[in-house]
Amino acid sequence: MTDSNPKTSIRALLSEIVDYAGLFPPSQLSMPNAVANYAAYLGSDYRWMLGRFIVPVDRLDEFAEAAKNFLAEGKEVWHLSVLGSEDIYQTVHRIEDFNHLYAPNAVCDALEVKAKTSHQIREVAAAVTPGLETYFEISIDENLADLVSTLSVTGHRAKIRTGGTSEEAFPPVEQIIKFMRVCLAANVQFKATAGLHHPLRSVKPLTYAPNAPEGTMNGFLNVFLAAAFLRQGYQPKLINELLKDKRADNFSFEDDGILWRQEHFVSSPQIENLRVRAAISFGSCSFVEPVDDLKEIGLL
C-alpha cells in the first residue's frame, strides 16, 4: 500500500467505512490470519478507511489468543463489532467480561444481531449495555417500517445485507432504496454487509474460488452516495440510476464535494454529516480489494 492524499470529499465519504470481516465468506480466513491482516491494516497508509474487526461472540477467546502479542504492544486500540448469539444475555455477559480483561487495548463497542419482529428488538434493547452500538439485521419486507420505528424508539441501528456468495443473495436496488429511505426518515443509523467489495456496481466473481460464478455486485460508492442524495431529497427514480451506475467518469470528487453526472452535487460537510448520523459503515471480508479498486479508478 502506498501513500495517499485523497480529496476532502473522498476522506469524508470513506473515513472508517470498512468493517473488516476476514473471518467470513468468501475469504473465510483463520483467526490468526485475519488478526494479522487487521494489525497490518492498522499500520498502513489507509488506516483512516478501516473500521472495526468483526468477530462472533463465541470466538472472542480465540481472538484474544491470536491477538495477544499485537494488543500487548498497545500501539492502537482495537475496536471490535461482535456478532451476537441467540442468547442475548449470554452475549452481553461475554462482551462485558472481554472488555474487563482487555480494555483499553481491545474493546467490544458494537454488537450485531438479527431480528424479525419488533418484540425481538425490544427484548435485545432491554438487555444490552448502555452505550453499546447495536445493529439489527432486518428483512426488507412489509414489516420494515414497524421494525425501523422500533429501532428509532429504542435508540438502536439497522443493518442491511447487500450481497453474499450467490446471486440470489443480492437484493434488487429497489429494496436497498426502500431500506435507506425508511431509515433516513426515522433518523435511524445503519450499516451494510456483504457484497460490497468494489467501489462501483460491476459484474464480478462471487467468491475467490477458481471458475467461481459471476454476478452483478453493488458498489459501496454507489450505495453511500445514494444515501447522501436521498438525504438531500432526491427521488427514487434518480437514486435507482445512481445505484446502477458502473462508470467511474460519472463521479467527480473534489475538496468541496462530489458531483455526479456533472449536475448532481453533495458537499463535503453534507457527506461528513451523513457518515456520522446515517450511513455508518459496511462489512467486507477484504480490506485490500476495496483499496486496490479505489486506486485503479484514481481515487487513492
Report whether pLDDT(180) > 50. Answer: yes
Instruction: Please say if the pLDDT value at position 66 is more than 50.
Output: yes
pLDDT tens-digit profile of 219-274? 999 999 999 999 999 999 999 999 999 999 999 999 999 999 999 999 999 999 99
- Whether 132 and 95 have beta carbons less than 8 Å apart is answered as yes
* For the chain, percent of residues with pLDDT exceeding 90: 88
CA–CA distance, 219 with 182 (Å, rounded to integer): 20
Query: Where are the chain's structural domains?
Result: 8-294
Residues 40-54 as b or e (16 or more Cβ within 10 Å = b): ebbebebeebbbbbb
Model confidence at 205, pLDDT cuts 50, 70, 90, reads confident
Distance of CA 214 to the CA centre of its chain: 22
Pick the range with the lowest mean pLDDT from 3-12, 108-117, 181-190, 216-225.
3-12
And the C-alpha cell for 83? 456478532
pLDDT of residue 250: 97
Report pLDDT digits (tens) over 24-39: 999 999 999 999 999 9
Answer whether CATH 3.20.20 is correct for domain 8-294. yes
Q: Identify the pLDDT of residue 296.
A: 95
pLDDT band at 2 (very low <50, low <70, confident <90, very high): very low
Residue written as grid cell 456533472 = 262
What local confidence, expressed as pLDDT, does residue 259 receive? Answer: 97
In this prediction, residue 1 has a pLDDT band, given cuts at 50, 70 and 90, of: very low
> What's the whole-number mean pLDDT along residues 130-152?
95
Q: How far apart are CA 153 and CA 150, in angstroms?
A: 5
For residues 95-114, give the mean pLDDT: 96
Of the two residues 2 and 253, the one the predictor is more confident about is 253
Q: What confidence score (pLDDT) does residue 3 get?
A: 41
Contact 112, 82 (CB under 8 A): yes
Q: Confidence class of residue 4 from pLDDT cuts 50, 70 and 90? A: low
Q: Which of 126, 119, 128, 51 is nearest to 84 (CA)?
A: 128
